[in-house]
């Protein structure tokens, strides 16, 4: 669980599926978290994932991939060639 404080409001982000969180952030319904352009993205949903807080990681063809949720990691592991760059 992650929480973000902004404008005297607390936003709780639960592991309910990274696709929903990514959609809400794109719709600007939630505040964005400061990320760098070099931060890795979850190859399944495209969400920026900081390696130190990733829910999981996997190696494929010598490259490390980071995931926002177990669901995205399992999806990747089922067909890594579909999601690998």
pLDDT tens sequence across 62-82: 999 999 999 999 999 999 999
- Total domains in the fold of the chain: 1
pLDDT at 52: 86
The helix or strand, by DSSP H or E, that contains position 32, with its residue range, turns out to be none
Residue-wise pLDDT tens digits, 19-64: 566 656 655 544 555 556 567 889 999 888 888 889 999 999 999 9
Flag whether pLDDT at 3 surpasses 60.
no
Separation between Cα atoms, residue 45 and residue 28, nearest integer Å: 17
pLDDT computed for residue 60 by the predictor: 96
Task: Quote the pTM value.
Answer: 0.58
User: Domain span at residue 78?
Assistant: 2-83
Task: Classify residue 73 by burial, with Cβ atoms within 10 Å: 0-12, 13-18, 19+.
Answer: buried
């Amino acid at each position: 669980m992650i929480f973000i404080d902004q404008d005297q409001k607390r936003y709780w982000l639960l592991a309910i599926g990274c696709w929903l969180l990514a959609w809400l952030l794109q719709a600007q319904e939630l505040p964005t978290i400061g990320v760098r352009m070099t931060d890795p993205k979850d190859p399944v949903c495209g969400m920026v994932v900081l390696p130190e807080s990733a829910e999981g990681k996997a190696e494929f063809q010598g490259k490390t991939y980071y995931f926002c949720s177990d669901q995205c990691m399992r999806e990747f592991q089922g067909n890594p060639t579909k999601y690998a760059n």
